[in-house]
Amino acid sequence: MKQIDLKDTYLKFFESKGHKIIPSAPIIPENDPTCLFNTAGMQPLVPYLKGEPHPEGTRLADVQKCFRTNDLDSIGDTTHHTFFEMLGNWSLGDYFKKESISWSFEFLTKYLEIPVEKLAVSVFKGNDIVPADNESANIWKSQGIKEGRIAFLSEEHNWWPNMELLGPCGPDTEIFYWRGKSVAPETFDPEDENWVEIWNNVFMQYNHEEDGTFTPLKNKNVDTGLGVERVTAILEGYSDNYKSSIWKDIIEKIEEISRLPYEDEKYSKSMRIIADHIRAIVMITGDDAGIKPSNTDQGYILRRLIRRMIRYAKKLNIDVNSNWEQELALMVIEKYSKYYKELERNKEVILQTLKDEKIKFNRTLEHGLKEFEKVVKNLEGNLVNKDIAFRLYDTFGFPIELTEELAKELNLKVDVEGFKQKFKEHQEKSRQGATGKFKGGLASTRRNGNKISYSYTSFKCSIKKSFGTSCPSKR
């Protein structure tokens, strides 16, 4: 397929359909202390989907900066990313299913030139409470999607947010693309991995009442989401996202710096991790929220990304004391500042943050890695105990996740729960010391112990709960 600027094409298309193009919200949620990052395009628009008038009207479209930590352990494969961009278009009590579905079909087949033979869809099959979404199925048929390519699935797949949560809700329809080398089968099988979801259209048409009933909403909304990275790879014919135009120049620069080939599987995972993390790092540090590496909240995740990137650079024999990370960061800034002006505005902050954290981590990383290699040689069994894990943290600055990663590579386990308990005891002793023997003239020098987040994935805000149940509080 031809190479196009997906973001520009998308925004111009929906602008032609009467949508106002709104800027991306910051990657750090504004006025929402319950969530560390914006994890979906609709998250910043929740107040308007709940009924508050939007200053730009009832038809909106944008490219939203998103960040998710729940897939961090999967980064390094060909499809996962921490930072990603989500294209979205919304109707706030304006158009509904007919327009949403027909425009999605028009955009995919006319503007992206995807053959209808490579498309399939799923719709809600209904249950004892809410009927099947035959309306969406019939609209898809009118567009040219054959009946065999329409799958009716349960609420687990095609209902938003879920049947238990109160508030606005409704069925969704998902659009799939056939990426297999063979001709797409006439009948759509959602379990076949060659069918890849590329777009999701959510139709908020009910309100889940406290008495358990689902009543029709007076003002029905449409919320859609299309992932830039996945669709770009599909359009360009790649099953590996990192070979697409989004990543090609970054990967080539990593090849140049390391003098190693991406095509060699010994190096490709490390290169993907570096490419993914440098982009995420630039987006977080370039945000006007002013996030800096730390041991808590967004700062902790940022620190882990930087340190993880450095470790994988060392695996590629990159001279980590060179300015390699500055070169990569500048490429990301140049590539994305067209859409996110704050990156150019905060360029010096981004570069200085990377440099400072690299210097800080380099002081201990090499010694820590040597220490880790030494202790695992003398292990009895396959468990890295709590004392070893805590020493790596306390002496060498290794987050527990880094120790887990190193252990996993050697098929070892880590006593994470024991580490947490030991760390808790360490914090308590620090507090007692701070309020006891360091009182008086030494009060200003007391230390409260480092606050660290272990299960940083627990900070992933559940967007589904935005309409009824608040997100988990930060620790």
Q: So what's the pLDDT on residue 3? A: 64
Q: So what's the pLDDT on residue 400? A: 86
Residue 166, pLDDT above cutoff 50? yes
Q: What is the largest CA-CA distance in the chain?
A: 80
Average pLDDT, the chain: 87
Burial (CB < 10 A; 0-12, 13-18, 19+), residue 472, is: middle
Q: Residues near 172 by Cβ (< 8 Å), separated by ≥ 6?
A: 124, 158, 159, 160, 200, 201, 202, 203
Of 67-71, 219-223, 413-417, which gets the smallest average pLDDT? Answer: 67-71
Residue 152, pLDDT above cutoff 80? yes
Distance CA 388, CA 407 (A): 12
One-letter amino acid of 321: N
Do the beta carbons of residue 454 and residue 416 sit within 8 Å?
yes
Q: Which two tokens stand for residue 304?
A: 């882990």
Residue 436, pLDDT above cutoff 80? no
Q: How many CA atoms lie within 13 A of 209 on its CB side?
A: 8
Cis ω for the linkage preceding 472 (within 30 of 0): no
Q: So what's the pLDDT on residue 61? A: 97
Q: So what's the pLDDT on residue 284? A: 96
Of 4-8, 70-74, 236-240, 247-251, which gets the smallest average pLDDT? Answer: 70-74
Residue 347, pLDDT above cutoff 80? yes
Residue 281: name the closest of 268, 294, 266, 291 by CA.
291
Residue 338: name the closest of 13, 1, 30, 85 by CA.
85
Q: What is the mean pLDDT of residues 434-448?
A: 35
Residue 78, pLDDT above cutoff 50? yes
Q: So what's the pLDDT on residue 14? A: 98
Of 137-146, 203-212, 352-361, 432-441, which gets the smallest average pLDDT? Answer: 432-441
Residue 466, pLDDT above cutoff 50? no
Residue 7, pLDDT above cutoff 90? yes
pLDDT category of residue 309 using cuts at 50, 70 and 90:
very high
Q: Residues near 357 by Cβ (< 8 Å), separated by ≥ 6?
A: 293, 303, 306, 307
Residue 27: name the closest of 338, 337, 340, 474 by CA.
340
**Tens digit of pLDDT for each residue in 191-250?**
999 999 999 999 999 999 999 899 998 889 999 999 999 999 999 989 899 999 999 999
Helix (H, G, I), strand (E, B) or coil at 473: coil
Burial (CB < 10 A; 0-12, 13-18, 19+), residue 269, is: middle
Angle at 67 between CA 474 and CA 360, to 5 degrees: 75
Residue 439, pLDDT above cutoff 70? no
Distances (CA, A) of 467 to 160, 165, 169: 11, 8, 9
Q: What is the mean pLDDT of residues 3-15?
A: 92
**Tens digit of pLDDT for each residue in 244-282?**
999 999 999 999 999 999 999 999 999 999 999 999 999
**Global pTM?**
0.80
User: Residue 203: phi, psi to the nearest 5?
Assistant: -115, 100
Residue 339, pLDDT above cutoff 80? yes
- Left if phi > 0, otherwise alpha if psi is -120 to 50, otherwise beta: which for 204? beta
Percent of the chain with pLDDT over 70: 89
Distance CA 121, CA 101 (A): 11
Domains plus CATH for the chain? 8-59+80-235 (3.30.930.10), 247-378 (no CATH)
Who has greater pLDDT, 473 or 392? Answer: 392
Distance CA 249, CA 426 (A): 45
pLDDT category of residue 2 using cuts at 50, 70 and 90:
low
Q: Are strands 83-92 and 59-67 parallel, antiparallel or unpaired?
A: antiparallel
Q: So what's the pLDDT on residue 453? A: 32
**Tens digit of pLDDT for each residue in 41-65?**
888 888 888 888 999 999 999 999 9
DSSP 82: S
Length of the chain counted residue by residue: 475
Q: So what's the pLDDT on residue 162? A: 86
Q: What is the mean pLDDT of residues 156-185?
A: 92
Q: What is the mean pLDDT of residues 387-395?
A: 87
Do the beta carbons of residue 202 and residue 162 sit within 8 Å?
no
SS (H, E, C) 289-355: CCCCCCCCHHHHHHHHHHHHHHHHHHHCCCCCCCCHHHHHHHHHHHHHCCCCCHHHHCHHHHHHHHH
- Left if phi > 0, otherwise alpha if psi is -120 to 50, otherwise beta: which for 259? left
